[in-house]
């Protein structure tokens, strides 16, 4: 994949002028931070003077409408969900202002050490402590009440989103490795995702970060874990963020660790779901959430030539296949989907 393009001179000039005018400081250097799967871009801005040595300039760009169900609105802006989470005691980056005309948010620099990097060579006890801290943040998020003016509370994990994820899975995950899926396989995926949707419709819905994975949690000295990428927050079953965290594509946790973390946090969640309900929905949501992630990895490679994420595809598929087997044992109509996942695992997958 090609490197990120150089900083647009007009954007750089705008940043320098804003810092000079609003912060009474001077920009020394601007460094582009490598982009992820989305269109948003980030820059580390080194300052002479000002409130901190470095800030992060978060620059919104037009969202690709293919990344959401047809007819649905784009993600809302970062504010006021960031401010609400901050007031509620959730660890988020501080905000220093915004240049709304250029779509720039000026945020605290929470560094480059993600949770994934922090646990890469960590001893088991340190890993357990960090993941317990992260699970505790999930409980805090779910305890945040609707103040009446935050768009996240009007967004939810709904039937359209499940159907959209099923379509992504069919178009990209099923086609990986040169496969040619037929209508029968597409129907199996659609039926499985619809079954997950029906089960989740009966669950309580609480505020969720929506992308609460290791890449979006940063270890900040003196503060602990701080979450980023907040604007996609919506209402979802209580297991949703925990699936993102504990079934992460970027960190493969031992099954015993996942079980221990789930057991420790389940009764601390505001709705305290029963062990049976929690385990069932945790596996079901793994199918759809990780199915969407797997599809996105292959979509980025196919449409943009961005093959960075293909190295996570096999592990993500293992998450899905194992969860599908457990789900099918509880719910026999999911057997066809579990069989399909086993076939995908056995197929060659180019990286």
Condensed to tens digits (0 to 9), the pLDDT of residues 41-75 reads: 999 999 999 999 999 999 987 776 777 788 787 88
pLDDT of 118 above 80:
yes
Q: Among 5-14, 81-90, 239-248, which is the least confidently predicted range? A: 5-14
Domain ranges of the chain: 1-109, 110-351
* pTM exceeding 0.75: yes
Q: pLDDT confidence of 349, banded at 50, 70, 90? A: low
pLDDT of 350 above 90:
no
**Domain 110-351 class?**
alpha beta
Q: Are 111 and 220 in contact (CB under 8 A)?
A: yes
R_g over Cα of the chain? 21
Q: Are 49 and 26 in contact (CB under 8 A)?
A: yes
In our burial notation (b when 16+ CB lie closer than 10 A, e otherwise), range 151-165 reads: ebbebebbeebbbbb
- Architecture of domain 1-109 in this structure: 2-Layer Sandwich (3.30)
Q: Are 250 and 120 in contact (CB under 8 A)?
A: no
Signed CA dihedral, 162, 166, 172, 173: sign only: positive
Q: Angle at the Cα of 318 (from 213 to 175), degrees rounded to 5? A: 100
């Amino acid at each position: 994949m090609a490197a990120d393009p150089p900083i647009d001179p007009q954007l750089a000039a705008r940043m320098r002028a804003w810092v000079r005018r609003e912060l009474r400081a001077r920009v020394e250097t601007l460094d582009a931070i490598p982009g992820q799967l989305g269109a948003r871009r980030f820059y580390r801005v080194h300052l002479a003077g000002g409130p901190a040595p470095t800030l992060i300039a978060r620059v919104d760009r037009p969202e690709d409408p293919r990344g959401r169900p047809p007819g649905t609105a784009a993600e809302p802006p970062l504010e006021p969900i960031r401010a609400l989470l901050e007031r509620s005691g959730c660890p988020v980056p501080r905000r220093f202002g915004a240049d709304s005309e250029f779509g720039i948010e000026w945020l605290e620099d929470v560094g480059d050490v993600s949770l994934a990097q922090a646990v890469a060579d960590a001893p088991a006890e340190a890993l357990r402590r960090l993941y317990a801290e992260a699970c505790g943040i999930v409980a805090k998020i779910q305890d945040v009440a609707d103040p009446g003016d935050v768009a996240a509370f009007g967004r939810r994990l709904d039937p359209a989103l499940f159907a959209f994820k099923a379509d992504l899975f069919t178009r990209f995950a099923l086609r990986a490795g040169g496969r040619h899926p037929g209508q029968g396989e597409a129907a199996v995926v659609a039926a499985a995702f619809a079954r997950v949707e029906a089960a989740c419709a009966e669950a309580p819905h609480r505020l969720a970060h929506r992308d609460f994975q290791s890449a979006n949690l940063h270890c900040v000295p003196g503060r602990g874990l701080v979450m980023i990428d907040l604007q996609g927050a919506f209402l979802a079953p209580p297991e949703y963020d925990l699936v993102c965290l504990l079934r992460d594509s970027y960190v493969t946790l031992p099954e015993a660790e996942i079980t221990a973390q789930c057991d420790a946090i389940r009764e601390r969640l505001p709705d305290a779901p029963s062990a049976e309900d929690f385990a069932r929905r945790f596996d079901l949501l793994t199918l759809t959430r990780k199915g969407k992630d797997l599809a996105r990895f292959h979509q980025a490679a196919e449409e943009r030539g961005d093959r960075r994420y293909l190295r996570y595809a096999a592990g993500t598929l293992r998450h899905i296949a194992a969860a599908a087997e457990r789900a099918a044992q509880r719910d026999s109509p999911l057997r066809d989907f579990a069989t399909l996942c086993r076939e995908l695992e056995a197929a060659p997958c180019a990286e």
